[in-house]
Amino acid sequence: MNNSKSSIKFKIKFHSFILTFAIGLIIAAITGWNEMNRSLLYLILGIVFAGESIFGLYKNLSNKTAY
């Protein structure tokens, strides 16, 4: 059980890092909208990453409360 708790902690930290990266990507895409040719691609990519990491955080946090 200790191994699963450490695994869940790692997953939470990993998804938090990815969420931080996605928010930075979204902010950079919005800030440089007129200067970059592919800003829409980066915005969509950031939204997809953020959605996936929020889902992963929700899934892991709900599993953490089950123990």
Residue 2's pLDDT is what?
61
Task: Share the mean pLDDT of the chain.
Answer: 88
Residue 36's pLDDT is what?
82
Residue 5's pLDDT is what?
78
Rounded to whole angstroms, what are the CA distances from 49 to 1, 5, 39, 64, 66? 30, 24, 15, 22, 26
Rounded Cα–Cα distance for residues 37 and 7 (Å): 40
Task: With a cut of 90, say whether residue 63 has pLDDT above it.
Answer: no
**How confident is the model over 23-47, as pLDDT tens digits?**
999 999 999 988 888 899 999 999 9
Tokens 């895409």, residue located: 29
Taking the model in full, what pTM does it have?
0.83
